[in-house]
Each structure stands twice: as structure tokens, then as C-alpha cells.
Amino acid sequence: MAEPSLNDKENVRRLIVDFYKFAAIELSNWNGTVNDGVVSVFTTMYRETVKCSKAFALVPEPPMGPASYFWLSTQLGGASFKRIQGKLSQTCARQAISLYGTDLQLAAMGLSSLRSAKWA
Amino acid sequence: MGLIRGAWLLAAALGTGAVDAATLQLGEWPEMHECQSCIPLQFRRLELQLPRTEVGKIFSTGTGGLAIELVPPTGDLKQSTAIFDRTQTHLRDLFGKSGFLRTHNIKTPRDYWDTLGKEPATDDKLLRLVRKAERIDSASSYMRMSRGTLTAYVVQAAEPRDQRIYFVIDGDETYYMLVGPMTPALVNAILANARVVEMP
């Protein structure tokens, strides 16, 4: 199993920042760490936002199974998220952050027990 | 008069950080009062009375949605307060491997919120990190109040949008979380008439 590339990690980090910006919520308290737990929690945040927004057919949907750096990086990274964010509800994104934001912080601190992310 | 006194006490506690920021303080629950013009809201077993001066609309994102939103009279959804429910299973899943719950003998959501209100021992890095993740360490105040089987934990967070109330019901695995830029007036109004009811 390959390690995630630095590029994928950086894309995921920027994606998380963009997601919080989209929701108009200050991303405080996060040290920028991207690890398996962070990828797992963020994938849940995104999936719940898509579900809540009823945007299944309109935006990329994470595959079932372990969360993936590669999927987030290639499907939502770079300019991709900016292109699809108009199809997502800001309120749903804010709710996802309110509900899972603490989990993201805990994951960044290495305290998450959520399932590991897939590395390739 | 009771409400005014209760509201004053809570507003004073939620004020300018006069209370020790890092640890749990016991507060006095604002007295229940009749509110004919309030909007009653039941969320599972938690019933709230919402004053129209603070809440203009209740918005639900519908099936598959995460929460309901209490929208202020201005209609600005960015200023709304979200209500969620969660079960203690989530805490077990979240902290399973870290041993945090076991180390602190946390068995219920009430144990969890009580523990976060303790000053961490010098060598208790885990508690320090969890308090940081929950933004308790940077809060201006962290208060607990109980009435009957209902306990509320009120976090006045440093970030204005991050004001929180957690409701815990004795013997119930579900706990409730309100998050948003709640004013002290809204916090008081929510607490004053909050009560436990059965699911219809």
C-alpha cells in the first residue's frame, strides 16, 4: 500500500480550507495536519453535505469503503471543489462542520478511532 | 421576577470572562415562565420554547438532513443556531482506541462533559488535547446546570459562531447539541423553558 503523495496531502489540506470558507466558518484550532483520521472525518463531512443538499447526481460522490486521499485529491482538489460548490447547500455544509468539526480536530491530533483512510 | 433574576445570574456568568475559563462552574437554571408567544419545539425528548423575538423561523433540511436550524428574525441563515442529537455510541467510536473514556471512567455523556470541565493534571496530555479540540480550554466560561433529569452544559466559546449548549437527560444515551452565534438572551430563553418530554 503506497503512502499518499505530498501533492495529494496538500490538495486535501487546501480542500478542507476551501470547504470551511464555503461554509463561512472560521477554521480555527486546526494545525493543518492531514492524516488518515482527518481524511476519514472530512469524507464524512463532505458525504453528509452532499446527502443533506440532495446533490447526489450533481457532484462527485465518495465511493463506499475506506476514505481515500487520492479520491479527495483528484475528484475535489484543485479547482474542482470551487466548480461544484454552487450545487451544495451552505447550510448543510455548516451543519456538517458543526457536527464533525470537533472530530476533525481530534483526528488531526491523532486521537481519532475512526476507520483508516485508504492510501491509494 | 424569577426569570429576570435567573437571566441576570446567567448573563453575569456568561459575561466578560469573570468566571474561570478553564473549568466547569455550577450555574443556576433560569426559572421556567409562561411564554404564550413562544414557538414550542420538540426535538426527540427535548422540548424548547422559542421566543419570536429571537427565532423568526425554524428550518429543516429534511430527510437526510443533519439538523434543524433556528433562524433569527432577520432571516440570516449564517446567524442561525443548529440543533443536533447524538448518542454516546459516537463518543465510544471516537475515543475507542485512545483510551480516553477508560482512563477517565467516562460511561455517559454527562461523565464526558463533566470530565472536560476539570483542570488537567500536569501529565494528562490526553485531557488537555480533548479540551482543546472541544474548545473548552479557550472558552470564556463553561457552566453546568441541572433541573430534574435534565442537565445543560453551556459553553461560551471564544469564536462567536461557536456558542454551544449540550443537553443531557439522565438514563438516556442521546444527548443534544445546540451550536451557533447564540446571544445570552437566546441562551436564557432556551434554558428557561427546556424540559424533558416523552416521544409522542
User: Other C-beta atoms within 10 Å of B131: how many?
Assistant: 23
Quick check: B60 contacting A, CB < 8 Å?
no
DSSP letter string, B127-173: HHHHHHHTT-TT-SEEEEEEETTEEEEEEE-SSGGGEEEEEEETT-S
Decide if A92 and B82 are in contact by the 8 Å CB cutoff. no
- When divided into structural domains, chain B yields a total of 1
* Contact indicator for B89, B101 with CB cutoff of 8 Å: no
Phi, psi of A95 (to 5 degrees): -65, -40
What does the domain layout of chain A look like in residue ranges? Answer: 26-108
For chain A, positions 100-119, list CB contacts with chain B under 8 A: 102-103, 105-106, 109, 111-114
The 10s digit of each residue's pLDDT in B160-200 is 889 999 999 999 999 999 999 999 889 999 999 999 999 88
pLDDT-based confidence at residue B102 (cuts at 50, 70, 90): very high
Mean pLDDT (chain A, rounded): 87
Rounded to an integer, the average pLDDT of B81-101 is 90
Q: What percent of chain B has pLDDT over 70?
A: 88
The 10s digit of each residue's pLDDT in A39-91 is 999 999 999 999 999 888 889 988 888 889 999 999 999 899 999 999 999 99
Joined grid coordinates for residue A65: 469503503
Domain containing B66: what range? 2-196
The 10s digit of each residue's pLDDT in B43-67 is 999 999 999 999 999 998 876 667 8
Quick check: B98 contacting A, CB < 8 Å?
yes
* Partner-chain residue, chosen from A25, A28, A91, that has the shortest CB–CB distance to B77: A91
CATH of the domain at B102: 3.40.1000
Q: What is the pLDDT of residue B166?
A: 97
Is B199 buried (19+), middle (13-18) or exposed (0-12) by CB count in 10 A?
exposed
> For chains A and B, what is the number of CB pairs under 8 angstroms?
78
3-state secondary structure of A117: coil
For chain A, the helix, strand and coil percentages under 3-state DSSP, each to the nearest 5: 60, 0, 40
